[in-house]
Amino acid sequence: MTFSSAERTAMRRALVLAATPGIPLGPNPRVGCVIIDDDGATVAEGHHRGVGTPHAEVDALTAAGERARGATAVVTLEPCNHTGRTGPCSRALVAAGVRRVVFAQPDSSPVAQGGAARLTAAGIQTEGGLDEPDARALNRAWTFAVDHRRPFVTWKFATTLDGRSAAADGTSRWVSGPEARRDTQRLRALCDVMLVGTNTIAVDDPLLTVRGDDDLPLPNQPLRVVMGERDLDPTRRVFNHDAETLHLRTRDPHAALAEVFARGRQHVFLEGGPTVAAAFLRARLVDEVIAYVAPMLLGAGRSAVADLGIATIGDALRLTITDVALLGTGQDATVRLTMTPPKEH
């Protein structure tokens, strides 16, 4: 693969455009496009702004007009090759008369893939793979969902040093410190589903919404999903009008994820209690673990996770730590551990 310095610069700019704040999460990926001329000068820029809006390539081509003819389009995702709410970007690029297309990440969606082949067949120089890891990181949940046909699952929990998520009398406010709780809101805002079990709703009556402030603007609220077969009091706060709520009457994590995936959701933030957490872990459906560990000891109380069927230390589920952060100070401090489970466990 050979890319010019101008194409590399344009791709860095396209990635910035793709990450423009305020774009709704899913179901479409974030995409940016920069059109450059033979001298490497920028002709036009574009980015996708959410479902039903022009794709990044069309946005840039519209701004470029006739100046797109003979130019190079640099885009963060392989141009799509299907007609949905908008037409195929591959066809738009051919019609605009671009000479060359450079993209970062190939599109593995069974519906949209094939754009590069169409462009090549039309005589357009087409090359992919430029800054692909950065493009994949930008659309981590979307890429995972497309590749695995299910949402990416992040399990978040707060625990004391001795592994308790609640005291013996059931109280759990607050295990983590204020900075950790604010950090949780930030992470919630990156997901499009918040999932808990029916027991959490019955006992804790959580609101399950993202609360913003001046530094964390309120996003579109995630879908609130309650998983479990028991009936629930309709006056529980999760059933208010602050966000959409879905009660899935199943105990099967596979069935729950299939349902939310069918609704176009790509990233589940699992905040349920120990029973739901154990169900997802035993089903090998947890892709990321975020633990807030407080400098606190209880000695008794509810464990952070229920029985995993592990009887000996040799069978322990060993996670890989990918990030450690200290949030807050003194007795209000909390350590955030970000971890990944083994691919096979």
Assigned domain for 145 exists: no
Instruction: Based on the fold, state whether residues 71 and 11 are members of the same structural domain.
Output: yes
Q: What pLDDT digit, counting tens, does each position of 269-287 carry?
A: 999 889 999 999 999 999 9
Instruction: Based on the fold, state whether residues 188 and 122 are members of the same structural domain.
Output: no
Residue 174 pLDDT greater than 90, yes or no: no
Residue 57 is a catalytic residue = yes
CA distance 178 to 333: 8
Instruction: Based on the fold, state whether residues 164 and 133 are members of the same structural domain.
Output: no
Residue 17 pLDDT greater than 70, yes or no: yes
Those residues whose C-beta lies under 8 Å from the C-beta of residue 56, and which sit 6 or more positions away, are 14, 17, 18, 31, 32, 33, 46, 47, 48, 75, 76, 77, 89
Instruction: Based on the fold, state whether residues 318 and 181 are members of the same structural domain.
Output: yes
Instruction: Based on the fold, state whether residues 38 and 181 are members of the same structural domain.
Output: no
Instruction: Based on the fold, state whether residues 208 and 326 are members of the same structural domain.
Output: yes
Q: What pLDDT digit, counting tens, does each position of 100-117 carry?
A: 999 999 998 776 678 999
Instruction: Based on the fold, state whether residues 187 and 308 are members of the same structural domain.
Output: yes
Instruction: Based on the fold, state whether residues 296 and 322 are members of the same structural domain.
Output: yes
Last residue of a domain, one of 92, 114, 140: 140
Instruction: Based on the fold, state whether residues 84 and 225 are members of the same structural domain.
Output: no
Instruction: Based on the fold, state whether residues 120 and 201 are members of the same structural domain.
Output: no
Model confidence band, residue 85 (pLDDT cutoffs 50, 70, 90)? low
State the CATH number of the domain containing residue 267: 3.40.430.10
Those residues whose C-beta lies under 8 Å from the C-beta of residue 245, and which sit 6 or more positions away, are 208, 223, 224, 225, 226, 238, 239
Range of 24's domain? 5-140
Assigned domain for 122 exists: yes
Assigned domain for 39 exists: yes
Q: What is the pLDDT of residue 262?
A: 94
Instruction: Based on the fold, state whether residues 93 and 218 are members of the same structural domain.
Output: no
Angle, vertex CA 96, rays to CA 90 and CA 101, nearest 5: 50
- Is the pTM higher than 0.85? yes
Strands 334-340 and 320-327: what pairing? antiparallel
Assigned domain for 105 exists: yes
Last residue of a domain, one of 140, 172, 188: 140
| Number of domains composing the chain | 2
Assigned domain for 345 exists: no
Assigned domain for 204 exists: yes
Q: Which of 7, 45, 57, 179 is catalytic?
A: 57
Q: Specify the higher pLDDT residue, 221 or 219.
A: 221
Instruction: Based on the fold, state whether residues 202 and 99 are members of the same structural domain.
Output: no
State the CATH number of the domain containing residue 64: 3.40.140.10
Last residue of a domain, one of 140, 175, 191: 140
Joined together, the tokens standing for residue 236 give 């529980």
